[in-house]
Amino acid sequence: MYTKMGFMLMACLAGIVSAGNGFAADTIEVVRASGNVVAKQDDQQQDLPVSSRSILPAKHILVTGSDGRAVVRMGDSGYIVVEKNSRIEVNREKDHAHLLRQITGIIYYAVNIIKGPKQPLEVRTATATIGVRGTRFLVTDLPERKEIGVRKGLVNVASLGEDFEIHKKAQEDEFEAYKREAKEAIAEEKRKFLEYKEKETREFIEYKREFGLGANRMATFDGNRVDERPLSDETLKDMESLEVYGEQWIAEVRD
């Protein structure tokens, strides 16, 4: 059973293993934590209390309470910012990429560009596996919201079961995105959109086992149905809140 002293010893050992200044490349370090945050392990009956500067085991489940938040450095892969009421399973095996299984909640991922043959970070949800190489994105897994929103870069989303039924570019969503980017008057925007609509009236439906999702786009999930569209105001608000909380460390990400 881990005690506070044992937890501190883990941090010391991590520092000894590292070469030179800083931690080893595979160290999982909590750089900021507030409120109720704990780590659970299968072979331990007692939860590990988590605070800033905690070093976490290679395999654990990180849990934030109703007032909890955390920023975690995932070795040299990048950072995750965990919102309140969230759970994520971390599995770091030697010579393998981090495997993260988001169980529930809202989590922001800021991932370094991966060069060479090194395996990318992999994020798994109840319905999909997300492969990333240098990007920033948000995953929401709540009873009323199941979605992936990309802030920067590109993610690859693969189904864990049957092909996705992908619905793309609903027109009203496109118009809202168009308005946010335009600098002209609303009337002029509407006129231009109507011209665009005459040329581009459609909604695509595709059946794919996997698909790519680019910057400022999001995908919402309802079973195997996927609706791809511009980022919603709600998703942007969640992103910005977690970006502010983890701003100091997200700024270090090479993407």
pLDDT tens for 93-121 read 655 556 899 999 999 999 998 776 666 67
Cα angle: 5, vertex 10, 16; to 5 degrees: 125
The pLDDT score that the predictor gives to residue 176 is 60
**Phi and psi, residue 241, nearest 5°:** -65, -45
- Residue given tokens 């501190």 in the structure block: 8
Q: How confident is the model at residue 169 (pLDDT cuts 50, 70, 90)?
A: low
Average pLDDT, the chain: 82
Q: Which two tokens mark 246?
A: 């983890």
Q: Is the pLDDT of residue 17 over 60?
A: no
Predicted TM-score (pTM) of the model is 0.78
pLDDT top residue among 22 and 194:
194
Q: Taking the CB of residue 202, how many other CB atoms lie within 10 A of it?
A: 10
Q: Is the pLDDT of residue 174 over 60?
A: no
Is domain 4-163+209-250 annotated with CATH 2.60.120.1440? yes
pLDDT top residue among 131 and 24:
131
Q: Is the pLDDT of residue 200 over 70?
A: no
